[in-house]
Amino acid sequence: ESITVLAPATVANVVCGFDVLGFALNEPNDTMHLRLTEQPGVTIINEDDYDLPTEPTRNVAGAALLALLRAVPEPVGIEVRINKAIRPGSGIGSSAASAAGAVVGANRLLGERFSKAELVDFAMYGEEVASGVRHADNIAPAIYGGVTLIRATTPFPDIVPLSAPPLFVTVVHPQIEVKTSHARQILKQQVPLKDAIRQWGNVGALVAGLLQSDYDLIGRSLEDVIIEPVRSILIPGFAEVKEGSRLAGALGGGISGSGPSLFMLSREEATAQAVEAVMREVYTGLGLDHHTYLTTIN
C-alpha cells in the first residue's frame, strides 16, 4: 500500500505573530509518496534536484518520522519519496512541509492513531534539524490547514485553528539566502514594554479581524514593531515592496517567516495581481532573480 500526500507551503509569523501565527497556502505543494516497508526504520528518497540529506536523522522528514516511530510500540518501517516544489530556504515553510507531510502520511498508513497536535509535536523535530529551533508556526498550518494560532508548544502543542475570510496572498521569493538560524540570532533578546504592548494589541486585533471578517482591522493589525525592523535589513527591496503593495491596495504584509520571501494579503484578486506586478518591478529593478506566487489561504 502506498499513499500520496500534498504538503503545502506556509507563511509563518503573519507579521505581528512571531512564532505564534501561520497560515497554509494553496500552492506550491510538495508531493510525497509513503509506504510501509518490511525492514523497520526510515528510508528517505529524494526525487528532486535539491540534494537534501537522506540520512534520516539529518533529514527533516526523517527526523519527524523517527519521532513518530518512537511513539509506536511495534517495529515499523516507512519509506518516503519526496518531490519538493517548495524551494528549500525560500521562507515559505519548505522544511515544515516535508516534516508535516511525512507524519501525516505515516499516520494514515498506521490507521490514524495520532491526533493533529501529536503530529505537530513529532514534526517539530524536523524543524529542529532544519533551523535548530522547535517552532510550530509553519508545521501547525501545514497540518491543520487555514490559519492557526500556536498558544504554546510546551509541554505539548496547543494549537488554535482560526477561521478567516477569503484572502489572496501574493508571495515573492528573491534569490538571496537568509538562514532562519541567523535571522533568529540577530533578534534582540529584550523587548521594551511599550513595543510588547503594541505587538500584543496587534496580534489580538489580527485574530479578531480574521474571525470577524473585518478586512480593515486585519489591515491595521499587520504591523510588527519588534522583529521586522531588525530582519528587514537582510532583505533588499523590502521597503519598496511593502510601500508599493500598500499603494496598490494590499491590506498589508511583510516578511514570510524568517524570509527572504515577502508576502502581501489582498481582499481582491485584481489587487493581488497589481501587488505581484509591484514585486516583479522591484526585483527586476534590483537585478535580482525572483519567483512570485499568487494564491489563497488553504
Q: How far is the CB of 15 from ligand HSE (least distance, A)?
A: 11
Looking up cell 523587548 gives 191
From the list 104, 88, 75, 106, the residue with the least C-alpha distance to 9 is 88
Q: How far is CA 148 from the centre of its chain?
A: 11
Handedness of CA 262, 265, 270, 271 (dihedral sign): negative
Residue 291 binds ligand HSE, judged by CB under 6 A: no
From the list 96, 106, 82, 84, the residue with the least C-alpha distance to 142 is 96
**Which listed residue (257, 261, 263, 279) binds ligand HSE by CB under 6 A?**
257
For residues 5 and 123, the answer to whether their CB atoms sit within 8 Å is no
Question: How many other β-carbons are positioned within 10 Å of the β-carbon of residue 193?
Answer: 7
Q: Report the amino acid identity of residue 14.
A: V
- 98-119 residues labelled b (16+ CB within 10 A) or e (exposed): bbbbbbbbbbeebeeebebebb
| Packing angle of the helix pair 60-70, 94-109 (nearest 10 deg) | 40
**Which listed residue (12, 44, 102, 207) binds ligand HSE by CB under 6 A?**
12
Contacts of 246 (CB under 8 A, 6+ apart): 252
The residue (of 13 and 266) whose beta carbon lies closer to ligand HSE is: 13
Residue 19 binds ligand HSE, judged by CB under 6 A: yes
Q: How far is the CB of 283 from ligand HSE (least distance, A)?
A: 21
Q: How far is the CB of 259 from ligand HSE (least distance, A)?
A: 8
**Which listed residue (8, 13, 244, 260) binds ligand HSE by CB under 6 A?**
13
**Which listed residue (46, 98, 199, 258) binds ligand HSE by CB under 6 A?**
258
Q: How far is the CB of 271 from ligand HSE (least distance, A)?
A: 26
**Which listed residue (135, 173, 267, 290) binds ligand HSE by CB under 6 A?**
135
Q: How far is the CB of 137 from ligand HSE (least distance, A)?
A: 5
Residues 171-230 binding ligand HSE (CB under 6 A) are 180, 183-184
Active site residues: 127, 180
**Which listed residue (90, 98, 138, 271) binds ligand HSE by CB under 6 A?**
138
Residues near ligand HSE, by CB under 6 A: 12-13, 18-19, 135, 137-138, 180, 183-184, 257-258
